[in-house]
Chains A and B, each alone.
Chain A
Amino acid sequence: MLAEHDNAVLLAATRNVITAALQAAGAVDVLVVGSGCAAVAQEAAGIAGVGRVLLADAPHFEAGLAENVAPQVEGLARGYTHVFAAASSFGKNVLPRVAARLDCAQISDAIAVLGPDTYSRPIYAGNAIATVRCSDPILCITVRPTSFGAAADGGAASVEAVAAVPDAGLSRFVKREFAKSDRPDLAGAKVVVSGGRGLGSAEHFRMLDTLAHRLNAALGASRAAVDAGFAPNDWQVGQTGKIVAPNLYIAVGISGAIQHLAGMKDSKVIVAINKDPDAPIFQVADYGLVADLFQAVPELIEKLG
């Protein structure tokens, strides 16, 4: 299992992928590839079910570039039957490169493990669920984290350093621009408040801030809201953005296009606030409120106290 981290802490989704890997294989080793990331390896070693932690630590792994990470994974993968990673932007970038180098297939975004070689995964923006079986000697699988529980602490695995492959020299990291937010991470939040084109402007979008604050929710957005500049790109929920499955998803001014539903329809409870009673979002909403959001949202904030 290829761990995902920022060289300081393990990404929470790694624990969900370990759960999936244990269902498929019964024994899981975790590979940590990074720079100055011994603390990450220690954290992984403490997760229940982890057999060994392999640590490849070198300066050219700092940014997680696929050209450097993939050969490292490939070399070690030859001793395994499965290679797992999260279906995050990191896992999606690196794992197909590993699979091709191994001449093995990849199964993307698995939502259930039906056997060591059989998995189910959504296709057509989640409008169909395919069950696929693959008999390649090594199988690469990216896992949808929201479909699996998080593995808890309680392990005592050993951490073993492995030799780092050399820098491929094909690419270099330039910079990273991450929006700072005190809101919970979108992919792992228990409550998500999402806004669409109906908000009308970036200023109006801030109205959702107060609501999200009250509910300790992460903020999300439809593609229309992102394209209109109301919200940053990485808030986009949908087929091509983030896939979320919170306990509560509140869609405000979102019509509910196929591509948006693909990212949120596994939420436990869906609330839709929209003035158009025919909006497709009402077909998936557990609770729908047909109302002007500019009246309903302030009233909702007030009622929540």
Chain B
Amino acid sequence: MKVLVCVKRVVDYNVKVRVKPDQSGVDVANVKMSMNPFDEIAVEEAVRLKEAGIATEVVAVSCGPAQCQETLRTALAIGADRAILVQTDAELQPLGVAKLLAAVVGREQPRITMLGKQAIDDDANQTGQMLAALCGMPQATFASKLTVADGWAEVVREVDGGLETVAVRLPAVVTSDLRLNEPRYVTLPNIMKAKKKPLETLTVESLGVDATPRCVTVQVAEPPARKAGTIVPDVATLVAKLREEAKVIS
């Protein structure tokens, strides 16, 4: 079966972003960019499905500017077979991305489409669910274990309170949680091999999709700063402060 895996290029998770002085957004110029960590887990899982003999082909897809090619090359270095870039410099929001991905799903007809559960920049946690809805497919979100057999995928999901297991009929959309797997390190030989793998570029127009943003970002501001605290010398002082100053314990 074919597995499609969707990846996003985001500001690296270790970077502390700064809000622009004019409050129009965060400053991403000259900031290290990487593959969204949840997507890396999704790619790893897709490649493991191939190594287990379940998947026959792994196709990576990304939507965004030309630089997303680097993100796709990373997916190819992890072990994806080929890549598709839906190239656009326009702003994309989750519904627009879900529509573009739905068009790619229509072309590629994967049995499983994997995504990360959320991107660490917009923190929306929407695209996988929206894609499943647009394709009329079931969804298994926040997956921490995936087992595929007999046209169904059994997925352990991380939910409030513990774990839940659901079975979804294929074709289906699966979004990965952090504990689905430990992504492998990309080796230099695999990076070299990835350069030779096919990368197809599509346009939004060629997919016939209206991906216009629906929301307008009016302002992006710094979160309210916490005022500096105090270092207490010992436990006795700490308890006294919590009782008498903060009044949060009895």
Chain A residues with a Cβ under 8 A of chain B = 63, 65-67, 70, 88-90, 92-101, 103-109, 118, 121-136, 168-179, 187, 191, 215, 223, 227, 232-234, 239-240, 242, 247-248, 258-259, 265, 268-271, 277, 282, 284-291, 296, 299-300, 303-304
Contact = CB atoms under 8 A, between A and B. Distances in A.
A303 B236 contact: yes
B220 A129 contact: yes
B207 interface: no
Contacts of B218: 118, 131-133
Interface in B117-158: 117-118, 120-134, 137-142, 144, 154, 157-158
Given A96-B130, A128-B17, A288-B229, A248 B242 contact: yes
Main secondary structure on chain B at its contact with chain A? mixed
A90 B130 contact: no
A199 B132 CA distance: 41
Contacts of A124: 11, 17, 26, 120-121, 123
Contacts of A134: 214-216
B88 to A, nearest CB: 18
Given A100-B134, A127-B16, A175 B249 contact: no
B161 interface: yes
A132 B215 contact: yes
Contacts, number: 247
A6 B155 CA distance: 21
A287 B129 contact: no
A121 B215 CA distance: 13
Nearest to B125: A92
Nearest to A126: B223
Given A191-B249, A300-B235, A303-B236, 14 more contacts: A99-B95, A100-B134, A101-B133, A106-B124, A126-B223, A132-B215, A135-B214, A187-B160, A234-B163, A247-B248, A286-B226, A287-B229, A287-B242, A288-B231
Given A104-B214, A187-B160, A129 B222 contact: yes
Contacts of B195: none
Contact of B232 (A88, A223, A268, A289): A289
B162 A176 contact: yes
Contacts of B94: 96, 105-106
A96 B126 contact: yes
A129 B122 CA distance: 10
